[in-house]
Chain A
Amino acid sequence: MTTHDITVEVNGVAYDRTVPPRLLLSDFLRHELHLTGTHVGCEHGVCGACTVQLDGDGVRSCLLFAVQVDGCAIKTVEGLASGPELHPLQAAFSGAHALQCGFCTPGFLMAIDSMLDELSAMNEAEIREALSGNICRCTGYQGIVEAVQATVAGDKHDGR
């Protein structure tokens, strides 16, 4: 099958690559760019682990082909922190014990970061519903909801 030349900006860096149409964005990020922070759980859109941002919107990278994002800007979990400094949401996750195995965490972080404005106006039940597209097998969600509330309230966590 014919391949396509694409230019994609990922975390501020422009990449030129040649891809077959069937290559999923999730595999492009992980296998071509070696950005393995984006996790793949179900590979059919139901778990949210693979969530990245496409031109600022939270999207499933397993439900997109790399060829579709030619000319677009992608942000992955690797683009969240600035150097050794954790992003406030990451610090809040750490502070609120919002992760155990961490498999789901990159997806939660990228989904939450794309919705912070809306989340800041929500009560706890609404936050839970807004996060329902991401599945966590470990935490029971309590810590994740607390981390969101701490972040939108601007609380500082010591990152312990």
Chain B
Amino acid sequence: MKPPDFDYVAPTSVDDAIKALGSDAEAKVLAGGQSLIPLLAFRLAGPSLLVDLARVDGLDHITDEGDRLVIGAMTRQRRAERDPVVAERCPLLVESLRHVGHPQIRSRGTIGGSVAHADPAAELPAVVLALGGRVHVTGHSGDRTIEAEDLFQGFLSTSIEDGEILTAVEVPASGPRTGWSVVEIARRPGDYALCGALCQLQLDDAGAVVDAHLALIGVGDRPMRAHAVEAAVLGGASPVEAATLAPDGLSPGSDVHASSDYRLHLATVTSRRALTQALESAA
């Protein structure tokens, strides 16, 4: 359970971090280490160099940009969870963070690290996907922005290239009469969920749903946005009716924790509960 040998640098600027990453084909970014260090302990990763971003200037911030909320990659999850600006601008993110591991994991784990790690059962990638957010990355060839729908490429895999660093995560700020909910089925609190649904709905003055976001976790090799359910809700379907569409297009794997069929069943159950709760909290 001891990590293999590696070299370590802790640069203080993004430029130096990119240079360090470019200096070694087997280099890897170290953020909070809450996923990477277990991978090292199990010898599932063997980088020759770790580039620690903890001392890099400018990556730890929460910025309210009016219609958008921008969070620096190295912002600790525990800070974001307790931040009043995040609570006001993106309550779904706060609710989701409470489901990420335990407080001691969130003290170290970062917003950017969770999104870059792209675990299919992780909450934060699903929030960014559900809300139609994007990430900012930078590398040798400059800065670019990747839309959430193009970011998640498969199991623990994103379109962030080797040598690039995720610098910030951006989500649209929530409007008035917005409700949200995170419903998960997990063996123990804090465990990665067998299946979960993350939902945000917005109502107009007459109480009709005018904006619907739903993403599912634990049902594929990446977080999945439930477009069919969203369309049904926007068309006036009840949570019960709409949730029956949740398994559309999903083919989750079976493992020791849950069979594929059970996960599909949970997709309906968690979607129904999340839609119902989000509607109630928006009303």
Contact = CB atoms under 8 A, between A and B. Distances in A.
A86 B71 CA distance: 42
Interface in B76-110: 78, 101-105, 107-108
Contact of B41 (A43, A114, A134): A43
Interface in B171-202: 188-190
B37 A132 contact: no
Nearest to A133: B102
Contacts of A24: 2-3
Contact of A45 (B4, B10, B34, B103): B34
Interface of A: 1-2, 4, 20-22, 24, 27, 42-45, 48, 51, 54, 57-60, 62-65, 67-68, 70, 111, 114-115, 129-130, 132-134
Interface residues of B, number: 30
A45 B37 contact: yes
Contacts of A67: 8, 10
Most chain A CB neighbours (cut-off 10 Å) among B7, B30, B37: B37
Given A45-B34, A57-B78, A63-B34, A22 B2 contact: yes
B17 interface: no
Contacts of A22: 2-6
Contacts of B41: 43-44, 62
A63 B108 contact: yes
Most chain B CB neighbours (cut-off 10 Å) among A27, A54, A58, A111: A58
B52 interface: yes
Nearest to A71: B55
A57 B107 contact: yes
B107 A21 contact: no
5 nearest interchain CB pairs?
A133-B102, A21-B8, A43-B1, A57-B107, A44-B38
19 contacts: A1-B6, A1-B7, A20-B5, A21-B8, A21-B50, A22-B5, A44-B1, A44-B41, A44-B42, A45-B38, A57-B107, A60-B34, A62-B37, A63-B34, A63-B105, A67-B8, A68-B33, A133-B101, A133-B105
A118 to B, nearest CB: 8
A57 B33 CA distance: 16
Contacts of A60: 34, 104-105, 108
A95 B110 CA distance: 38
A111 B103 CA distance: 9
B185 to A, nearest CB: 15
B95 to A, nearest CB: 14
